[in-house]
Amino acid sequence: MEYVSPEGLRLDGRRPMEMRQIRAEIGAVSKADGSAIFEMGNTKVIAAVYGPREVQNRSQQISSHALVRCEYSMANFSAGDRMRKPKGDRRSTEISLVIRQTMEACILTHLLPRSQIDIYVQVLQADGGTRSACINAATLALADAGIPMRDLVTSCSAGYLNSTPLLDLNYGEDSAGGPDVTLGILPKLDKVTLLQMDSKLPIDLLENVMQLAIEGCKAIANYIREILLENTNQLEYRRGV
C-alpha cells in the first residue's frame, strides 16, 4: 500500500516531517494533586497524579526514596472496535511499566522519602502514538502536582515507510507493520530515556529516523513549556499577594 503519495503527502494529508496538531490542558481532574489532558491529532489521553502521599502498602515503603506507581488503561470506547479487555492484559502492563520507568528517571525521588506517587493515565481516543501521548500527559500532570523533576520528559514516535522517514505515526501507518521508533528524551539535558522499536530498520537509517523523532520531542517540549509557564503565571496573578 502507498503511504506516501508521489506528491509527498501522507494518508491524512501531512508532509513526512510534519507532526499532528497537539493540544494540552492542565487541571482536568479536580480531586487529583495534578492532572492534564494531552492530544496529538485524534489521540487523546488524560493523566492524573496523586501524591506524594503516605505509602498504602507498608511493606513497599522505601526509606530513602519515593515509590512511583503507574497504571495505564484504555477506555472501552477509545478504539474502533469496542473491546472488553481484562484489566491486566499484557499490553497495558507493559506500557504501565514503560511509563513508570521513564517518569521515575526524571522525578527527584530522593527528595520525597517514604512516600508514594501514583500516576494514572487513560487513553480516551486511540489513533496511534498512545505511548508517547501518555508520557507527555504524565509529565504535565507531574509538573502540575509540584513534584520536583530533573527535566521534563517528552516523547514522540517516528517510522520508516515507502523509503521515507515519517514523524508521529497515526493508527493507519502504525498498523502497516513497518518500523516504529518511540523515543523519550530529556530536552534540557539532551538525554534519551526511552527508546523502543517495533519491526526492523537498517542500522544506517536508524540515525535519521531517531533524529526526526528527537526534533518532534523538542517541538513538544517547547509547547509543554509554554503551557506550563502560562499556567504558573495565571496561578500567581490570580492569587495576588
**CB burial class (10 A; 0-12, 13-18, 19+) of residue 207?**
exposed
Contact status: 218 vs another protein (CB under 8 A): no
Among 16, 52, 159, 165, binds another protein (CB under 8 A): 52
The DSSP code for 49 is E
Q: Alpha-carbon distance 204 to 208, whole Å?
A: 8
* Closest to 134 measured CA to CA, from 33, 228, 225, 45: 45
- The interface region with another protein, picked from 167-175, 198-206, 211-219, 223-231 by CB under 8 A, is 223-231
Contact status: 184 vs another protein (CB under 8 A): no
Rg over CA atoms, the chain: 18
Contact status: 189 vs another protein (CB under 8 A): yes
Q: Which three cell numbers stand for residue 5?
A: 503519495
- The helix/strand/coil state of 157 is strand
Q: Which residue has the cell 508517547?
A: 132
79 or 149, CB closer to another protein? 149
The full DSSP string for 108-172 is -GGGSTTEEEEEEEEEEE-SS-HHHHHHHHHHHHHHHTT--BSS--EEEEEEEETTEEEES--HH
Contact status: 208 vs another protein (CB under 8 A): no
Which residues within the stretch 140-169 sit at the binding site for another protein (CB under 8 A)? Answer: 143-152
Q: Which residue has the cell 509540584?
A: 146
Contact status: 48 vs another protein (CB under 8 A): no
To the nearest whole angstrom, how small is the minimum distance from the Cβ of residue 48 to another protein? 13
The DSSP code for 52 is E
To the nearest whole angstrom, how small is the minimum distance from the Cβ of residue 220 to another protein? 14
- The interface region with another protein, picked from 40-48, 81-89, 96-104, 138-146 by CB under 8 A, is 138-146
Contact status: 110 vs another protein (CB under 8 A): no
4 or 70, CB closer to another protein? 70
Contact status: 233 vs another protein (CB under 8 A): yes
Contact status: 112 vs another protein (CB under 8 A): yes
Residues found in the chain: 241
Contact status: 90 vs another protein (CB under 8 A): no
For residue 99, count other CB atoms closer than 10 A to its CB: 26
Which parts of this chain interact with another protein (CB under 8 A)?
A: 25-27, 30, 33-34, 51-54, 66, 108, 112, 114-115, 143-152, 187-189, 225, 228-241
